[in-house]
Amino acid sequence: MFSKHVDKEFSAYCQGELSAAESRQVAEHLIGCHRCRAEFEEVKLGVKLAEHLPQIAAPDSLWNELQPFIAARTEHGGAGETKRSRFGSLFQPRFAAIAATTALAIGFTAFWLYTRDARPFWEVARIDGAPRIGSARIGDKGKLALGQWLETDSGSRARIDVGTIGQVEIDPNTRVRLLQTKPTEHRLELARGRMSARIWAPPKLFFVDTPSGVAADLGCAYTLEVDDAGGSLLRVTSGWVALQLRDRESMVPAGAACATRPGIGPGTPYFEDASESFRVALTRLDFDPKAAPDLKTGPLDVLLAEARVRDTLTLWHLLARLDSKHRARVFEAMAALVPPPDGVTRDGVLQLNEQMLQLWKDELVKRWSDDSGLRKAGIKVWTQGLGKINGWQGKK
């Protein structure tokens, strides 16, 4: 991973001038660095805005109006001009018109540079059986154009190349449609069935719409499954995925999963090695209408009693989803597992101070990976011993 910020790499990165390894390093840095990610989002937003601006020729009257303005600027521009008058001129409508026109021109140029290599379709390769694009069976290769459906029956599987940013494998009995493919956004719709994605692109370029939530890739590998009722299950194997519906968002790291339901959206993410009773209680809390809101105490009791250090992933998300009374209980349980770092106070967390929540999450993330590292090394006994010291439950 780059130890320094990567904003200087954005241009080369967006134009595909970095090696695959360097691109991946930029993507990884973006996942972890809020500063660079914010800047990258701005770059991306600028490109998106430019896309939506209609291209209109400037009317002659605009040029006529600009003439005296430009002449005046030339006359008393230079040494005599004060900062104040320059600042003031920014707010003149005519100056705003020039600025807007210039911004448009820059936007279009940037967009053209950024999109000239865009492909209007994705390549599809047959893995097994006879996948179909529209109503036609494909041979060993096919092309999935915008708006087209790719469908597999019980005996077929296919692989899609997502431009140059990744690959998606389509399992049997699955229906997917290509909704968008351009450098700022690649989007599939998964109507039913299961797909696995491996994406090596900057965060939030690849999206999958399901009937009950949108999976936004943050540099990752994952599987996504949609059942006949429109519910979905996301399982992340590397990196992070954000599951979104309207203003609700779940951030799901490697080793964790998250379900969605029609009409509700994403539930709360959980590590798949959490205890069964923890997972059952979480499903009730997220999706059982009878469990909300007054009867939430039941499943919440189970969650707080069963939570290990890793399960602070789940508890952290619950902070913003429960009312203040239940939030206070979650805070106490979390603080016992991973004390809040400097700068994070009980009051701040209970008031959902965004910066404090982020600081605490950064601290928690380190502890989740420690835990998984220990698990991989097979030092389970040791972690259980440590669990007692740290207030772990020592449960699988």
Between 5 and 380, whose beta carbon lies closer to Zn ion?
Answer: 5
State which H helix or E strand residue 144 sits in: strand 141-145
Between 33 and 307, whose beta carbon lies closer to Zn ion?
Answer: 33
Contact 192, 175 (CB under 8 A): yes
Binding to Zn ion by residue 34, rule CB under 5 A?
A: no
Q: What is the DSSP code (8-state) at residue 340?
A: P
Between 35 and 396, whose beta carbon lies closer to Zn ion?
Answer: 35
Q: Kindly state the smallest distance separating residue 3's Cβ from Zn ion, in Å.
A: 9
CA 247 vs CA 229, 244, 265, 275, 354: distances in Å: 22, 7, 10, 29, 15
Q: Kindly state the smallest distance separating residue 30's Cβ from Zn ion, in Å.
A: 8
| Whole-angstrom distance, CA of residue 122 vs CA of residue 119 | 7
Between 33 and 170, whose beta carbon lies closer to Zn ion?
Answer: 33
- Contacting residue, 26, 31, 33, 197, with Zn ion by CB under 5 A: 33
Closest to 316 measured CA to CA, from 305, 303, 299: 303
Closest to 110 measured CA to CA, from 15, 5, 206, 22: 15
- Contacting residue, 27, 36, 220, 285, with Zn ion by CB under 5 A: 36
# residues contacting Zn ion (CB under 5 A) = 4
Between 5 and 388, whose beta carbon lies closer to Zn ion?
Answer: 5
Q: Kindly state the smallest distance separating residue 29's Cβ from Zn ion, in Å.
A: 6
x/- map, 315-334, Zn ion, by CB under 5 A: --------------------
| Whole-angstrom distance, CA of residue 156 vs CA of residue 269 | 31
Binding to Zn ion by residue 31, rule CB under 5 A?
A: no
Binding to Zn ion by residue 43, rule CB under 5 A?
A: no
| Whole-angstrom distance, CA of residue 175 vs CA of residue 156 | 12
Interface with Zn ion (CB under 5 A): 5, 33, 35-36
